[in-house]
């Protein structure tokens, strides 16, 4: 470790300060603090730096508190440590999304009039609405839709609500709520009244999931399943239901702190720690074929 690099003790202290200040479950903070300081005193982090330190501390965080969003992340490019530049990681996420076509990887027209959209991340509506609308425009004339979230690693709750809005007729469906620790407020998420592309109604929707599907990707899958609007095909998802803020610990290390929790208006709970279970469980690499076959059966076609 370079002599001028922050020590593991400094990194753990700063991470714990952020967790204490912002974690959505303040009653769990003492257990997290005790666990990490015990590991630190035992020398568990001696000689570790960079990604190895982040991975080890993350494993201990999640052992002390099984929340998949509690993490230390390493990044090669230095980040600003100036408090005025902090925005919970939103600017960095927006830049990432611009480079990744707002999370929409590809569209395909499958045999039998079935549409297919591959979504890798969930964009903010403010920047992603047009791209998402373009994808939904492409499938507007299909007879069934496969929405592939197998590689969707998360994104914006507002974007998840926008994706879901396409599958309901108007703005009268209350999708879920998000409770935020800061201020003790609860924000309601409803379907949108205006969308940049036609809604996808009265046709079957199949959502593909895997053990990689996470966070906002799980939000879409869980919400559509709970409201009876989609059939989930694939594997149980990873299990992260807490919207998260990101805070710099060093120029290269960020701590992610869940600052809110999602509450389904249908189930009264969420998928944290357990994931979203598919309706048709199959290995992830077989999910597309299975969903396509189900779609063709539903709309009266065969694979031949």
Domain 100-240+275-299 has CATH 3.90.226.10: yes
For residue 197, is pLDDT > 70?
yes
36 C-beta neighbours (distance < 10 Å), count = 22
Q: Which pLDDT score is estimated for 100? A: 95
pLDDT tens, residue by residue, 130-166? 999 999 999 999 999 999 999 999 999 999 999 999 9
Strand ranges (DSSP E) for 97-202? Answer: 104-110, 114-119, 144-148, 174-180, 185-190
For residue 101, is pLDDT > 90?
yes
Pairwise CA distance, residues 133 & 124, whole Å: 13
For residue 31, is pLDDT > 80?
yes
> Is residue 30 exposed (0-12), middle (13-18) or buried (19+ Cβ within 10 Å)?
exposed
For residue 301, is pLDDT > 70?
no
Split at pLDDT 50, 70, 90, the class of 50 is very high
For residue 3, is pLDDT > 80?
no
Split at pLDDT 50, 70, 90, the class of 186 is very high
Q: Which pLDDT score is estimated for 1? A: 47
Q: Give pairs for 75-82: CB < 8 Å, separation 24+.
A: 75/252, 75/253, 75/254, 76/252, 78/251, 78/252, 79/248, 79/251, 79/252, 79/254, 80/248, 81/248, 81/250, 81/251
pTM: 0.84
Q: Would you give the DSSP letter of residue 7? A: P
Domain ranges of the chain: 8-85, 100-240+275-299
For residue 33, is pLDDT > 90?
yes
Render 9-61 in DSSP notation, one character per residue.
Answer: HHHHHHHHHHHHHH-S-GGGHHHHHHHHHHHHHTTTTTT--HHHHHHHHHHHH
Task: For residue 261, give the H/E element and its range.
Answer: strand 260-264
For residue 241, is pLDDT > 80?
yes
Asked if 194 contacts 133 with a C-beta cutoff of 8 angstroms, the reply is no
């Amino acid at each position: 470790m370079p002599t001028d690099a922050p020590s593991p003790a400094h990194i753990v202290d700063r991470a714990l300060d952020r967790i204490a200040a912002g974690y959505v479950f303040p009653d769990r903070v003492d257990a997290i603090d005790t666990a990490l300081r015990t590991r630190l005193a035992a020398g568990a982090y001696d000689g570790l730096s960079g990604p190895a330190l982040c991975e080890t501390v993350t494993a201990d965080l999640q052992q002390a508190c099984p929340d998949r969003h509690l993490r230390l992340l390493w990044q090669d490019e230095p980040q600003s440590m100036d408090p005025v530049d902090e925005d919970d990681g939103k600017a960095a996420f927006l830049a990432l999304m611009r480079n990744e076509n707002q999370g929409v990887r590809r569209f395909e027209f499958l045999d039998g009039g079935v549409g297919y959209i591959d979504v890798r991340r969930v964009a903010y509506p403010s920047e992603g609405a047009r791209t998402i609308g373009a994808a939904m425009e492409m499938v507007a004339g299909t007879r069934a839709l496969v929405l592939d979230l197998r590689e969707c690693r998360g994104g914006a709750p507002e974007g998840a609500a926008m994706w879901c809005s396409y599958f309901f007729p108007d703005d009268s469906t209350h999708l879920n709520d998000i409770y935020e620790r800061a201020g003790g407020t609860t924000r309601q998420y409803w379907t949108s009244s205006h969308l940049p592309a036609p809604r996808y109604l009265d046709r079957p929707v199949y959502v593909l999931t895997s053990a990689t599907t996470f966070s906002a990707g799980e939000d879409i899958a869980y919400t559509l399943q709970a409201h009876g609007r989609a059939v989930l095909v694939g594997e149980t998802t990873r299990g992260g239901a807490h919207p998260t803020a990101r805070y710099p610990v060093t120029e290269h290390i960020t701590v992610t702190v869940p600052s809110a929790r999602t509450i389904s208006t249908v189930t009264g709970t969420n998928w944290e720690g357990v994931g979203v279970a598919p309706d048709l469980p199959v290995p992830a690499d077989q999910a597309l074929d299975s969903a396509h076959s189900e779609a063709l059966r539903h709309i009266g076609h065969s694979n031949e």
